[in-house]
Structure 1
Amino acid sequence: MAAPRSIADRLFWPIVAGGVASLWFGRAALAVAGVVVLGIVLHRLGRGGRFRRRVRALARRHAGTLSLRRRQETFVDAYGNEILDGWLRERTYFAERTILPRLEAEGYGDLVEARWEEVLGIVEAASLAEVPDETALLPDDGLAYERFCAALLERAGWNARTTRAAGDQGADIVAERDGVRLVVQCKRYAKPVGNGAVQEVVAARGYWNADRAAVVSNAGFTPAARKLAGATDVLLLHHDELQGLRPRRAG
């Protein structure tokens, strides 16, 4: 992409043309040239504001997803600290893959480097703009969390039941809808879920002869869990996603 022209480049030819035209048309030509130059200057000075408005518009378009991803990638550790590392990586990924290409295509590429922290701040604000629709507090214990997740699946049209058995083979919930059987392992954690949960739900999928398998958590997932889930076709979900979950066979 060609570098944006500087304001000096944009003003050069209007000033030259105005000066030449004034030799024939006098002050009227100079006045017209002055108006043109003033318009160019004002338009250039307003780029910063237009840049911010464009970033806000792009971030707001994805505010719901950003809010969800922020909750998925944030957790509180055993010491009461809010750990944002995963969310900060996700925020940067969104800005680089979604916002940056649009800004460059629309001629704002030269402003991005100097205003990158401003871009990230706007994305952060968009992620906090939508408050999750939770009518009840998240259950504190594992069994209550399983029932909570099953209720969310029921609300989405699934026939869901908790297994309530020691021999569940890694499935806390078995749900069916439109001929698709789903096994779910629920993890109410204070830290990201590891790949052990993925291994267990893969075993549960075979044991229950299920079409799909998912691990649901309030606290996000480790990179190892994400890698294994991708290789074994296991869904990794935040519980907020259950209400919109639709039946789909693997493959």
Structure 2
Amino acid sequence: MALRDFFLYSYLSENAYLKPLSLKRSQLMHKDDYGDVKIEPWFDEVERFAQDHSFDVNYYIKANTTSELRNRYVVYGAHLNFHYENDKFSTLYSDIDSVLDAFIEDENSTTTDDLSLITDPYEYERAIAEVISNLGAEARATQGSGDQGADVIATYADVNYIIQCKLYSKPVGNKAVQEVAAAKQFYEGDYAMVVTNSSFTKSARMLAEKLDVLLLHHSQIEQIFGEGSTDSVTVNSNESCSYEAVMGALSSPETERLKKHTSEFLSIFEPTVSENMFVFDVGDCSSFVACFASHDDDVFRTYIDYLFKLTDGLSYDEKILFTLNDVESDTSRYAEHLGIRLFTDEKILDYLHELIAIHVNEE
């Protein structure tokens, strides 16, 4: 790495730009249907970044070097000033691209953790293709209309995977399962799967089982394309305690009763309601509340994991779980660690009365 590149790398690292830039490059540089790498969108993006940050880069270089070093810096035998000139953004963005090569080599580019940072559905598709490629498969995002329901097509160990990607703030339903099953037939794939940042509805799970479609949270990708196989994947890696047990608890009389009372109390906030979940605003505070009752601690923990994956990356100020059963202290701490507050019995009423009091005062 050239000396000026070293200072550029340090600037990008200290300002936490390296990871988002590498992710953006992986998203914008992709292969088209003919296998050609499309680089123009990335060059446009990095040129814009260079224009926006050239002053700060030059200031950083000046602050961390001596005038003698800046004035005697030699690159490729030619005398150059250490600074990037305003009319030479192409030099800066070319150096940024070179610096990212070193960073990506160290970081192994996009990981499944990075996927939770994405908010654009098309970027999500490209990033999933990148993650799968990093795991040793050949993968490309279809990126266009006429894809017949396939967002990513991957080949791993001579097995073809047809993948639909869903960046959702709610559970994924039947339509995605139907579309990817049809795409599998169209592309003559071996496996069809839906990958999401969210979860799946009960009917989607039932249909997927019928149509032999794999349903994955994006954190499970490595179970397929890493050291695992399709046989090792469940709908949710933390649901080994039994999906049926969780669904049974969701439809239990206790959960239904809790949901009914919660709905009555929260009605003044006009919440958005989905099954046993409520989303509403109180003043400037956005809240997510779920109702769930189970006396089986393993089942209860599984549902906590589900809520975490469902709401991870979503901008709720409060994530709350109401329950009627006693909760073990370890489970309570576990939920708190995941950013989910647990309320039981009287504490539920106290919380609801507090919300109503805030609402009345604001009125």
TM-score (norm: length of structure 1): 0.44
Bigger share in helix: 1
Bigger share in strand: 2
TM-score (norm: length of structure 2): 0.31
Larger Rg: 1
Structure with more relative contact order (C-alpha pairs < 8 Å, separation 6 or more): 1
